[in-house]
Structure 1
Amino acid sequence: MKPKMNPTHASTATATAFFFLIAVLTLLHHEANAATCHPEEEAGLLGFKSGIKSDPSGMLKNWIAGTDCCKWAGVECHYNSTRVERLYLTGQPDENPKSILSGTISPTLSKLKLLDGLYLIDLQNISGPFPTFVFQLPNIQYIYIENNKLSGRIPENIGTLTRLGALSLAGNRFTGTVPGSIAKLTELTQLKLGNNLLTGTLPKGVGNLVNLTYLGLEGNKFRGTIPDFFSSFTNLRILNLTGNRFSGNIPSSISTLAPKLGYLELGHNSLSGKIPDFLGKFRALDTLDLSWNRFRGTVPGSFRNLTKIFNLNLSNNLLVDPFPEMNVKGIESLDLSNNSFHLGTIPKWVASSPIIFSLKLAGCGINMRLEDFKPSETYFYDFIDLSGNNITGSAIGLVNSTEYLVGFWSAGNKLKFDLGGLRFGQRFKYLDLSRNSVFGKVPDSVVGLQELNLSYNHLCGKLPKNKFPASAFVGNDCLCGAPLQPCK
């Protein structure tokens, strides 16, 4: 017969086994945690955090020593590994204005030896020079440091980063010229240097970057002619050179981009000559911006072939009649303002578009009643600018049929209607009806607008309390009250 165990001894044995198991599990847990972050890489990341002086949204709040750095915000590790592969920190200026970081990029990130991607986007207040520690990262392939405040020059030896597939320094304060060694970055598919303070001419070596799908150099101070090196760019889909000081003609080699190019943006430069006929062959073109240049002559008839174009901006050039009848299936944004066109009426292909949101035809020789413009869809309109034409009638029907309208400009026409009949949606901010024949009282609803010009009409009565200058109301029949003279 087995001897019976004392109940007290049994309880003690069970408790001992239980606590032993807990101790083992706790030890294993600590060892597992210790194994989830490489010590050098943890030190590198915490060094980066120490360089951040302000983090109002708590973006880095879970970057705590001794915890699993693979779970820290913005840190991505290699699959089934404890080694850091990517650092991805991005702000959200529209949704969360506090999602910014102020400080510098610590060189301790050079400890992340397996890092292949550095993404510091929309953090706004990251300052300092180009982070030269990236030259010590043998695996680095993607650098996106966008919309911050980095400054100084792009390093002359940038060409040694031959594994780079993407380089974006857009939206910073870099100065100087683009280094010639950039020609060695032949693996690049994206080169984005837009919205900096870069100067000089474009190095011809950029033509060596034959794998580019995106070339963005907008918003700098580049000068000279646009290099004629595009014939090797067989995969380019986006070309943005807007807002520089380029002069001369559109180079002929751009014609070779026709099969795939979706965005061609050359606005706000000093380009001249005629708009080349070959642009009509760009069947994949979504956006064409040639605005604010010195293009002369007529718009090529070949533009009828641009059936897929959604955004067309030819404004502020020296273009003349006739304007070709387009065969677009639906245009989203059209701006032909301030050329020497005499369109007569708003084109039918514009009125029939089911998706248009921006229509700007200022100074386009339009001579019609506004009620005769009967667009198939007005719901999505954001912006309508018909200033400087010879348009008669009332704006009430058009403006009141839009849900999302932000701005309506129709200065210098012959519109005649009671201002009190206009209804402004919640998004409405800008109204310019100056130099027309609008009558009636100024309604209280204008007070919530951001910009207003009702000068030189036939308005009368006491003004509602408002924040606008006197220039918004001068030249009317009998308006009174601040900011004009007191009512009698």
Structure 2
Amino acid sequence: MNSSSSFSVFIFTAVIILRCLNPIKAATCHPDDEAGLLAFKSGITRDPSGILSSWKKGTACCSWNGITCLTGDRVTALTVSGQSEVAGSFLSGTISSSLAKLQHLDGIYLMNLKNITGPFPQFLFRLPQLKFVYIENNRLSGPLPVNIGSLSQIEAFSLEGNRFTGPIPTSISNLTKLSQLNLGGNLLTGTIPSGIANLKLISFLNLGGNRLSGTIPDIFKSMPELRSLVLSGNGFSGNLPPSIASLAPILRFLEVGRNKLSGKIPEYLSRFKALDTLDLSRNKFSGAVPKSFANLTKIFNLDLSHNLLTDPFPALYVKGIESLDLSYNQFHLKTIPKWVTSSPIIFSLKLAKCGIKMSLDDWKPAEYYFYDFIDLSENEISGSPARFLNQTEYLVEFRAAGNKLRFDMGKLTFAKTLKTLDLSRNLVFGKVPATVAGLQTLNVSQNHLCGKLPTTKFPASAFAGNDCLCGPPLSPCKV
């Protein structure tokens, strides 16, 4: 789970706890609040899972699902949330402007409703006590209002996962009470307004997953509380700005992957003693990784993949790394590093095309149990993954294409959780076991496999280039 989604979960949990602590169940409902809420319900065209089924005229609205009242009979928080993993727990329709009637509202949380459409909700400007806005993972669209800075009392503002377009308004610099700003996962264009430097209380800033461009402005010296900075998935170019160095004492998440950034990885990053997650992937960073990265003793998630980085890669002195991706650079690691192998908590290891020349028989991880994702493709790895695959409990993906693995596939067993298996372009022999039918993705092409194929849904390309495989989707077996 990334930093932005984990923060949303935290906020949503806090709201639910507040509702549970709510001591007030008003016998009646303030007529303005009831009218505003029922107007919102009337704007919903589909509610397949009955999220709003308790909203009935003439009943105590403070007891309705998603409603919090902390000041007499007045509604102070509105929480309507779908569950992204549960099909059908969403709403279709629009957000009624009549919610402006809820004059005591200090928090609005409309999250994961998927099919809510319409423009930016202008009624937010008419709610004088509003402090917390989370309208996430819907389908709102159009530009952000140029006067967005008029919401100067807002302390947390998230529009993540919608379809807003156009620039980030310069008036956003007036939201000086903000501690969280999340505009990630939209279609915003243009540059980051330099006025964001005015947000001196900001602790969480996410502009990732948009279409922003230009250089990252050098504005971070004025943000001493910033703990999470997410700018990944845009079109930013140039170097990382020097003022990011000022965030060293407390920054925990720095995510700038999937941009067009270049230059060397700054030495100052090694001073980020609190850093949990560093994502510099899919940029154009070059040169060697600073030796001083050995100082990043608290790093749990490190992604430097798809850059132009060169040897030597420094040994890290972490107590346990959770995920590591060094794939597709110009490294020649020769072996899977000991500091990786010794980690008791690693769940994702991706070292594709890292110049590894070793036998998997010599790889003895400290812990097999937690591995979920493995990618060792495009190396010169020999031996057999059978011992490893047979001991994992939760493995979802194993990729080792383009190596020198040699083993009998017919004797292979693997975790019931496994969804993806790529052993293409190796020296694998034997039969294809029937258990592969439970996979979602399979590629065992270009090996030395033989015999009749089990019944599967995979195309012929998954089995092409073997010695003597037969049966659908390949040619029939000779009787």
TM-score, reference length from structure 2: 0.94
Confirm or deny: 8 A CA contact 1:413 1:436 kept in the other structure.
yes
Secondary structure, aligned partner of 1:78: strand
Hey, what's the Cα distance between the residues in 2 that align with 1:188 and 1:353?
38
Query: For 1:378, which of 338, 343, 368 is the aligned residue?
Result: 368
Secondary structure, aligned partner of 1:127: strand
Query: For 1:480, which of 461, 470, 475 is the aligned residue?
Result: 470
Hey, what's the Cα distance between the residues in 2 that align with 1:426 and 1:434?
21
Hey, what's the Cα distance between the residues in 2 that align with 1:287 and 1:35?
49
Hey, what's the Cα distance between the residues in 2 that align with 1:424 and 1:55?
41
Matches within 5 A, 1:16-165: 36-79=28-71, 81-94=72-85, 96-165=86-155
Hey, what's the Cα distance between the residues in 2 that align with 1:343 and 1:328?
18
Secondary structure, aligned partner of 2:147: helix
Structure-2 residue corresponding to 1:208:
198
Secondary structure, aligned partner of 1:156: coil
Confirm or deny: 8 A CA contact 1:110 1:133 kept in the other structure.
yes
Matches within 5 A, 1:184-199: 184-199=174-189
Hey, what's the Cα distance between the residues in 2 that align with 1:391 and 1:271?
32
- Between 1:52-61 and 1:420-429, the stretch displaced more is 420-429
Partner deviation per Cα, 1:246-301 (whole Å, 9 max, x = no partner) = 00000000000000000000000000000000000000000000000000000001
Hey, what's the Cα distance between the residues in 1 that align with 2:87 and 2:146?
35
Hey, what's the Cα distance between the residues in 2 that align with 1:35 and 1:476?
75
Hey, what's the Cα distance between the residues in 2 that align with 1:446 and 1:124?
34
Hey, what's the Cα distance between the residues in 2 that align with 1:67 and 1:97?
29
Structure-1 residue corresponding to 2:325:
335
Matches within 5 A, 1:248-259: 248-259=238-249
Alpha-carbon offset, residue 371 of structure 1: 1.1
Alpha-carbon offset, residue 421 of structure 1: 1.9
Confirm or deny: 8 A CA contact 2:26 2:62 kept in the other structure.
no
Confirm or deny: 8 A CA contact 1:33 1:67 kept in the other structure.
no
Query: For 1:276, which of 257, 266, 274 is the aligned residue?
Result: 266
Matches within 5 A, 1:309-320: 309-320=299-310
Partner deviation per Cα, 1:113-137 (whole Å, 9 max, x = no partner) = 0101110011111110011011111
User: Given the alignment of the two structures, is residue 441 of structure 1 paired with residue 431 of structure 2, yes or no?
Assistant: yes
Structure-2 residue corresponding to 1:13:
none
Hey, what's the Cα distance between the residues in 1 that align with 2:382 and 2:450?
21
Structure-1 residue corresponding to 2:19:
none
User: Given the alignment of the two structures, is residue 220 of structure 1 paired with residue 188 of structure 2, yes or no?
Assistant: no
User: Given the alignment of the two structures, is residue 243 of structure 1 paired with residue 233 of structure 2, yes or no?
Assistant: yes
Hey, what's the Cα distance between the residues in 2 that align with 1:343 and 1:142?
48
Secondary structure, aligned partner of 1:99: coil
Confirm or deny: 8 A CA contact 1:34 1:66 kept in the other structure.
no
Partner deviation per Cα, 1:299-332 (whole Å, 9 max, x = no partner) = 0011000000000000000000000010000000
Hey, what's the Cα distance between the residues in 1 that align with 2:456 and 2:106?
56
Alpha-carbon offset, residue 465 of structure 1: 1.2
Measured on the aligned residues, the alpha-carbon RMSD in Å equals 1.0
Partner deviation per Cα, 1:89-129 (whole Å, 9 max, x = no partner) = 111121x2221011000011000001011100111111100
**Change over 3 Å in CA distance of 1:302–1:71 after alignment to 2:** same
Hey, what's the Cα distance between the residues in 2 that align with 1:69 and 1:468?
54
- Between 1:424-433 and 1:63-72, the stretch displaced more is 424-433
Hey, what's the Cα distance between the residues in 2 that align with 1:86 and 1:36?
17
Q: Which runs of 5+ in 2 are unaligned?
A: 1-23
Q: Which amino acid aligns with 2:152?
A: T
Partner deviation per Cα, 1:184-230 (whole Å, 9 max, x = no partner) = 00000000000000000111011111110000011000000000000
Matches within 5 A, 1:277-292: 277-292=267-282
**Change over 3 Å in CA distance of 1:462–1:468 after alignment to 2:** same
Alpha-carbon offset, residue 36 of structure 1: 2.7
Structure-2 residue corresponding to 1:425:
415
Q: Which runs of 5+ in 1 are unaligned?
A: 1-31
Hey, what's the Cα distance between the residues in 2 that align with 1:160 and 1:246?
28
**Change over 3 Å in CA distance of 1:34–1:476 after alignment to 2:** closer
Report how many residues are paired.
455
